[in-house]
């Protein structure tokens, strides 16, 4: 089968399309013919290994000191069709249209993948009928991460929430889910993304290149930093008493200050990463099927243009999601 292989740590050009063995499902696995996958900021960070030291060093030790070894195909989420199932599989059958996260093993940038029927570190479910393969592939990672953190924050109707980095994969889901929970959303991102964020339900939008959102006199019950670039101390200053500060990509310094802040004030720092569950994915499916949650896709690229897709993802201008199409649209 064809796959885009991660050959070295470095720029997008380290991704090379080549022929690799087609996987064979074990007893508890399903073989999926992948129709679409995505390019996320996480994929780019993994590829270049531009990660915080507490993540980057263990990743290099695990996956290869000089180049990727154990994991050689990126891609954290996908959609496709079940081609075959192992003898112990009961939830799926050949022909089922599915979508999934891939877990730590990654592997979405390929024509086929084997996933466990009931994975412990990822999720696999039937694709919502009203979504294309391209749309479905762009749901699980950003949707589950945003839902998990917002549930941890226990956002209440009428509370004010600031979403920093609102225009990307997690952010577009966070804006819509916060609105679904009854929050009054202020969305922060670059100017060209603001109209889109208004259509997703943001009551107020801020172009961070033109305005300092920590100096405009507003205070919030919840601050959700999706991208790890909010000014920590100044955000604490604009967080109300009993406010919650959600960090999807916390820095070491922030983690070190987390305990002291929780002991010395009524404010909470929430940094727990998503524990992906089938129940949460089904919650998202209900919202997708009702039309309350929309999938935002900026651009689609064929799998063989993964290098170009990664370059665009790193430009900072991405609105919502980038999709890699493995099976052409007419066959989807």
Secondary structure (DSSP) of 149-209 = HHHHHT--TT-EEEEETTTSHHHHHHHHHHHHTT-EEEEEE-GGGHHHHHHTT-SEEEETT
- In a 13 Å sphere around the CA of 49, the CA atoms on its Cβ side amount to 22
Tell me what pLDDT residue 331 has: 45
Radius of gyration of the chain (CA): 20
pLDDT at 53: 65
Q: What is the pTM of this model?
A: 0.93
- What pLDDT is attached to residue 25? 98
Kindly tell me the sign of the dihedral angle through the C-alpha atoms of 212, 146, 322, 23: positive
- pLDDT 10s per residue in the chain (332 long)? 999 999 999 999 999 999 999 999 999 999 999 999 999 999 999 999 987 666 778 888 889 989 999 999 999 999 999 999 999 999 999 999 999 999 889 999 999 999 999 988 889 999 999 999 999 999 999 999 999 999 999 999 999 999 999 999 999 999 999 999 999 999 999 999 999 999 999 999 999 999 999 999 999 999 999 988 899 899 999 999 999 999 988 777 777 777 778 778 889 998 877 678 999 999 999 999 999 999 999 999 999 999 999 999 999 889 999 999 999 865 44
pLDDT of res. 317: 87
The beta strands (E) that lie in 42-87 are given as 77-85
Residues 6+ apart with CB under 8 A from 64: 70
Query: What pLDDT is recorded for position 332?
Result: 44
pLDDT at 259: 75
State how far the Cα of 151 lies from the Cα of 197, in Å rounded to an integer.
21
- Domain 2-139+295-331 is found in CATH 3.40.50.300: no
Question: 34 burial class (0-12, 13-18, 19+ CB within 10 angstroms)?
Answer: buried
Integer angstrom CA distances of residue 130 from 2, 91, 127, 133, 295: 28, 21, 9, 10, 11
Domain ranges of the chain: 2-139+295-331, 141-270
Is residue 37 within a helix (H) or strand (E), and if so which, with residue range? Answer: strand 29-39
On whether the 141-270 domain is CATH 3.40.50.720, my answer is: yes
């Amino acid at each position: 089968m064809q796959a885009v292989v991660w050959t070295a740590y470095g720029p997008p050009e380290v991704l090379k399309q080549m022929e690799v063995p087609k996987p064979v499902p074990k007893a508890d696995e399903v073989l999926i013919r992948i129709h679409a996958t995505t390019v996320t900021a996480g994929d780019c960070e993994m590829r270049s290994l531009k990660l915080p030291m507490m993540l980057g060093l263990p990743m290099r030790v695990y996956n290869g000191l000089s180049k990727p070894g154990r994991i050689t195909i990126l891609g954290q989420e996908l959609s496709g069709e079940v081609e075959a199932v192992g003898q112990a599989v009961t939830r799926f059958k050949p022909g089922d249209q599915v979508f999934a996260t891939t877990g730590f093993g990654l592997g979405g940038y390929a024509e086929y993948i084997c996933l466990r029927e009931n994975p412990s570190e990822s999720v696999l479910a039937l694709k919502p009928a009203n979504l294309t393969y391209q749309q479905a592939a762009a749901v699980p990672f950003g949707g589950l991460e945003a839902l998990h953190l917002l549930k941890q924050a226990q956002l209440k109707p009428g509370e004010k929430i600031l979403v920093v980095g609102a225009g990307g994969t997690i952010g577009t889901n966070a804006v819509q889910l916060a609105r679904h929970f009854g929050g009054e959303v202020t969305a922060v991102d670059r100017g060209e993304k603001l109209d889109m964020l208004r259509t997703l339900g943001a009551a107020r939008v801020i172009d961070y290149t033109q305005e300092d959102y920590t100096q405009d006199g507003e205070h919030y019950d919840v601050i959700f930093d999706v991208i790890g670039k909010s000014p920590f101390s100044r955000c604490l200053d604009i967080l109300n008493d009993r406010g919650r500060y959600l960090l999807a990509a916390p820095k070491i310094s922030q983690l070190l200050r987390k305990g002291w802040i929780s002991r010395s004030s009524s404010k909470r720092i929430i940094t727990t990463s998503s524990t992906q569950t089938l129940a949460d994915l089904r919650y998202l499916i209900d919202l997708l099927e009702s039309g309350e949650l929309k999938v935002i896709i900026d651009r689609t690229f064929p799998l063989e243009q993964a290098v170009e897709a990664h370059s665009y993802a790193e430009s900072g201008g991405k609105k919502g999601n980038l999709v890699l199409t493995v099976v052409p649209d007419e066959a989807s």
